[in-house]
Chain A
Amino acid sequence: MKFAHLADCHIGSWRDPKLRDISTKAFTKAVDLCVEKNIDFILISGDLFNTSLPNIDSLKETVLKLKELKDKNIPVYIIAGSHDFSPSGKTMLDVLENAGLFVNVAKGEVIDNKLKLNFTIDKKTGAKITGLLGKKGSLEKSYYKDLVREPLETEDGYKIFMFHSAITEFKPDDLEKMDSQPLSLLPKNFNYYAGGHPHYVFNKNEKDFGIIAYPGPLFPNNFRELEKLGNGGFYIVEDDKLEWQPIQIYNTYKIDIDCNHKSIEEVEEEFLKEIQDKEFIDTIVTIRLQGILKSGKPSDINFKEIFNKFYEKGAYFVMKNTNKLTTKEFEEIKIEKNSVEDIEESLIKEHLGQIKVKDLDIIKEEKLTKELINILNQERKEGERVTDFEKRINGEIEKVLEGL
């Protein structure tokens, strides 16, 4: 048995026109590699798309590759992730599943208020696959708490569990603040646990469980990931041996400049040193500037000219991050949180309990707030009429409020 384990493809994630199709290219390349390596089946552990209703161009390319896999008799098994899940059920994943392009293995039934998952059996290999979707803010945790475990744990055969959640015990240091769930919530005795959600590459053979693996994203999904990971990839698993396949679309080059006690001219000189004697052909360059300038403002740095120098040397794309760059000329600003999610999380926690609603305790309030933020965060889809958009959002909100 030989299968591929992909996760967090985030097709359609980058907004810049030059990077917009990069995750689709990564997916195409991964599929080609799977075909070339004679894979029996492919697992995608959530977030195939960056949103539940992806844009038409990305969708077209993705469908073409999925169709190619179907024609070649390579089944694809998926679960929804925190990005492509929709509480209203209006997700492109359902459309593609109905078209027979893949199978969503998060299938089961509710018995006595408990969730009993069913296995999907891969016809070619006999592998028994099941799993649970991921939701924003780790809200899928409640599904695990109400999971009927015994039939899952005692089923014989080669079993795969797909999940889209960070595991507390395996979180890397830089994802310390990420919502996660304890290992004990996963059902035991599976051969392979195909994980997604935290963007890092990890595998471990865990006693009482099996191989627990995260392949990381297929392509880095933001500036920080480009810096940290360089490129993405996926696992090919054969006889319980894992081989990580890198997917290189462009080269990446990271520049980190400490601007403490430097003038604008000195910072610009550092750039020149970096550029000197180097070529950047087909390279995505990330530039991070941090520290306190001794004179001048961050906006005084002539980024246009610096970027042009990289482009003259063949760079495909140059991006910068000056979040932690400030100057003595301004009052120092302390940045405590690193991402929008962190800031949202701390603001929610700060304001919990201020509105008194009957039967709404702090835990329920936090969950409800996160769900409402996620719904209201959605943008109108391509071609979607304003009234349909409003109807969709209202429908999702009503569904969440009904659960109170």
Chain B
Amino acid sequence: MDVDIFLEGDKVLTHHILIPATTGRGKSNLTSCMLWNCLEKDYCGTLVLDPHDEYYGRNKIGLKDHKKKNNLVYYTPKNVPAGCKTLKINLKVIKPQHFNGVVDWTDAQKEALSAYYRKYGATWIESIILEKPVEGFSEATLAVIKRRLLQLLDLSFRENQLFCNGAFDLQAGITIVKDICNELESSKIVIIDTSNFSGAVEILIGSLIATEILNKYKSYKIEGTLKEKPVISIVLEEAPRVLGKEVLEKGSNIFSTIAREGRKFKVGLMAITQLPSLIPRQILANMNTKIILGVEMQPERQAIIESASQDLSNDSRTIASLDIGEALISSNFTKFAIPIKIPLFEDLVKINSSKNNKIKKDFSGVA
């Protein structure tokens, strides 16, 4: 049946979405189509951590071709297209808690990080690298922390001076996290190109923004202004990196916090994965909408079926045989599981992209 299917976007996004699929079944196409649609909606702001730099469309068709591209903000660390933003994050905005789920620190190392933060405040990372004194920790512990921070944050240390080689900076990027949060609150889609980073750095950046936005939304709830704010959705590729059982056994992180309690504060996750079975059942059950693309492996299908909103116990083979672009939606916000056909993103763009209206531009003031 060629019938358009609609779900209530704000509810669905707040209550988290899971997109499980085997490679090549159209996860990126589906996500691109959903983001394309979100660009027109003022009830949601979306943060996209993009490890493959595929959604903006730097050298191909992408979200940049949308007629409402003013609602799209693209941050990238290298070869920044004119008008887009350079991803620069000031070291001063990082706090020890942002490393939760990013780096496996020992208890002694965690205590040392906290001690530096207490003593040196915003300049704590610089202080560790410059070997400023903090008592009560062995030299070996501090040396390991220093080495790991240098490597993770792409810093170098020569002649007692700190140099920033990558996205983390001593001078620039002091307002970036606040800027991104403001953009999300203005219902924009913010894409962060993390293709040049290790997984750990990508998660650190996501963690910085997610922590700030969740805290802001918590304060809006206390103030009573949360109703006026758009839903915030965070797109997480390879979600088990932060929501996996193994990761969470070592301690919670901001993404697991959002998965647990984000919906109370209108902050949701859009978790994309090939391996849903790695995500604890409790979190899977919290993902109230599942857009299931083709999943070949039985244990993965089982994990989805067991946590679905509808009884899909007879649909295991159907899920395995879903072709590229076909999906099954199971959601608390639909009365039954619905099979859908997802349009090809390129076709969607062709139908809806902007036409260039030639308006005479004004350059007054230039002689």
B80 pairs with A176, CB closer than 8 A: no
Q: Is there an interface contact between B363 and A115, defined as CB atoms closer than 8 Å?
A: yes
Q: Given known contacts A80-B365, A104-B367, is B85 in contact with A170 (CB within 8 Å)?
A: no
Given A170-B172, A403-B362 in contact, is the A107-B85 Cβ separation under 8 Å? Answer: no
Q: A184 with B83: in contact, given A108-B366, A110-B363, A363-B70 (CB under 8 Å)?
A: yes
**Chain B residues within 8 Å of A80, by CB:** 365
Query: Is B158's CB within 8 Å of the partner chain A?
Result: no
A182: contacting residue among B84, B174, B367, CB under 8 A: B84
Interface check B118, CB cutoff 8 A: no
Q: Which of A149, A204, A363 contacts B172 (CB 8 A)?
A: A204
Given A169-B85, A184-B81, A133 contacting B365 (CB threshold 8 A): yes
Chain B residues with CB below 8 A from A144, complex form: 82-83
Contacting pair A149 B82 (CB below 8 A):
yes
How far is B80's CA from A135's CA once the two chains are assembled, in angstroms? 24
- Distance (whole angstroms) from the CB of A363 to the closest CB of chain B: 6
Query: Complex: how many Å from CA A293 to CA B88?
Result: 42
User: Least Cβ distance of A350 to chain B in Å?
Assistant: 11
On whether the beta carbons of B80 and A182 are closer than 8 Å, the reply is: yes
Which of A106, A113, A182 contacts B366, CB < 8 Å?
A106
**Cα–Cα distance between A105 and B2 once the two chains are bound (Å):** 60
* Residue B178 interfacial (CB < 8 Å): yes
19 A-B residue contacts at CB 8 Å? Answer: A85-B365, A89-B364, A104-B367, A113-B360, A115-B361, A133-B365, A142-B361, A145-B83, A149-B82, A169-B173, A173-B175, A176-B179, A182-B86, A183-B80, A184-B81, A184-B85, A185-B82, A202-B171, A204-B171
| Contact assessment for A146 and B179 in the assembled complex, using a CB-CB cutoff below 8 Å | no
Binary interface encoding of chain A residues 319-363 relative to chain B, with 1 for a CB under 8 A from any of its CBs, else 0: 000000000000000000000000000000000000000000001
B82 touches A184 (CB 8 A): yes
* Bound-state Cα–Cα, A403 to B88, Å: 36
B174 touches A184 (CB 8 A): no
Q: Does A171 contact B (CB under 8 A)?
A: yes
Q: A173-B175, A204-B172 are in contact. Are A132 and B85 (CB under 8 A)?
A: no
A143 at interface by CB-CB < 8 Å: yes
With a cutoff of 8 Å between Cβ atoms, the chain A residues found around residue B362 in the complex are: 403
A-B pair count, CB < 8 Å, reads 82
Which of B82, B88, B176, B360 has most A Cβ within 10 Å? B82
In chain A, positions 159-183 with a C-beta closer than 8 Å to chain B are 168-173, 175-176, 182-183
Q: Say if the beta carbon of A87 comes within 8 Å of chain B.
A: yes
Question: Does B355 belong to the interface (CB within 8 Å)?
Answer: no
Q: Which residue of chain B lies nearest to A206 when distances are taken between CB atoms in the complex?
A: B172
B85 to chain A: which residues have CB within 8 Å? 168-169, 182-184
**Which are the 7 A-B pairs with shortest beta-carbon distances?**
A184-B80, A182-B85, A133-B365, A176-B175, A169-B172, A171-B175, A169-B88
Alpha-carbon distance between A117 and B178 when the two chains are bound, in angstroms: 34
Cross-chain contact B84 with A106 (CB below 8 angstroms): no
Within the assembled complex, what's the spacing in Å between the Cα atoms of A399 and B367?
17
Minimal beta-carbon separation of B57 from chain A (angstroms): 16
Verify A146–B176 contact, CB threshold 8 A. no
Q: For the complex, is B358 an interface residue (Cβ under 8 Å from A)?
A: yes
Q: A145-B82, A185-B82, A202-B171 are in contact. List 19 more A-B contacts (CB 8 A).
A: A80-B365, A85-B365, A107-B367, A108-B366, A113-B358, A113-B360, A115-B363, A135-B365, A145-B83, A168-B175, A169-B86, A169-B173, A170-B172, A182-B84, A182-B85, A184-B82, A184-B83, A185-B83, A204-B171
Type the 1/0 row for B84-115, where 1 means its CB is closer than 8 Å to any CB of A. 11101000000000000000000000000000
For window 278-314 of chain A, which residues contact chain B by CB distance below 8 Å? none
List chain A positions with a Cβ less than 8 A from chain B: 80, 85, 87, 89, 104, 106-108, 110, 113, 115, 117, 132-133, 135, 142-146, 149, 168-173, 175-176, 182-185, 202, 204, 363, 399, 403
Instruction: Determine the distance from Cα of A145 to Cα of B70 in the docked complex, in whole angstroms.
Output: 13
Interface residue count for B (Cβ, 8 Å)? Answer: 26
Contact check, A184 vs B178: say whether CB atoms are below 8 A apart: no
Residues of B within 8 A of A182 (CB): 80, 83-86
Chain A residue at minimal CB-CB distance from B73: A182
Q: Which residues of A contact B175 (CB under 8 A)?
A: 168, 171-173, 175-176
Chain A residue contacts of B364, Cβ below 8 A = 87, 89, 399
Across the interface, name the chain A residue whose C-beta is closest to B76. A184
Q: Chain B residues near A89: list those with CB within 8 A.
A: 364-365
**How long is the Cα–Cα vector from A278 to B217 in the complex, in angstroms?**
48
How many Å from the CB of A62 to the closest CB on chain B?
Answer: 20
Query: Please, which residue of chain B has its CB at the minimum distance from the CB of A133?
Result: B365
* Per-residue contact bits, chain B 58-82, to A (CB 8 Å; 1 contact, 0 not): 0000000000001000000000111
Q: Which of B81, B361, B366 has the most CB of A within 10 A?
A: B366
Interface string of B184-196 (1 = CB under 8 A from A): 0000000000000
Bound together, the chains give a CA A115 to CA B84 distance in angstroms of 19
A336: shortest Cβ distance to chain B, in Å? 11
Q: Which chain B residues border A106 with CB–CB below 8 Å?
A: 365-367
How far, in Å, is B200 (CB) from chain A's closest CB?
23
In the complex with contacts A115-B366, A171-B174, A176-B179, A184-B361 CB distance below 8 A:
no
Question: Across the interface, do A169 and B81 meet the contact criterion of CB distance under 8 Å?
Answer: no
Shortest distance between the CB of A101 and any CB in chain B (Å): 16
Contact with A along B323-367 (1 / 0, CB 8 A): 000000000000000000000000000000000001011111111
Contacts of A184 in B (CB 8 A): 80-86
Q: Which residues of B contact A149 (CB under 8 A)?
A: 82
Q: How distant is B68 from chain A, measured CB to nearest CB, in Å? A: 9
- A185 and B85 CA atoms in complex are apart in Å by 9
> Given A110-B361, A143-B366: A172 and B82 within 8 A (CB)?
no
Q: Are A170 and B366 in contact (CB under 8 A)?
A: no
Q: Give Cα A385 to B225, complex, Å.
A: 49
Nearest Cβ distance between residue B363 and chain A, in whole angstroms?
5
B343 → A minimal CB distance (Å): 26
Residues of B within 8 A of A176 (CB): 175, 178-179
Residues of A within 8 A of B84 (CB): 182, 184
Could you say which residues of chain B place their CB within 8 Å of the CB of A204? 171-172
| Min CB gap A404→B, angstroms | 9
Closest to B367 in A: A107
A110-B363, A113-B358, A115-B363 known; A170 vs B171 contact (CB < 8 Å)? yes
Q: Mark B140-179, 1 if CB is under 8 A from A, else 0.
A: 0000000000000000000000000000000111111011
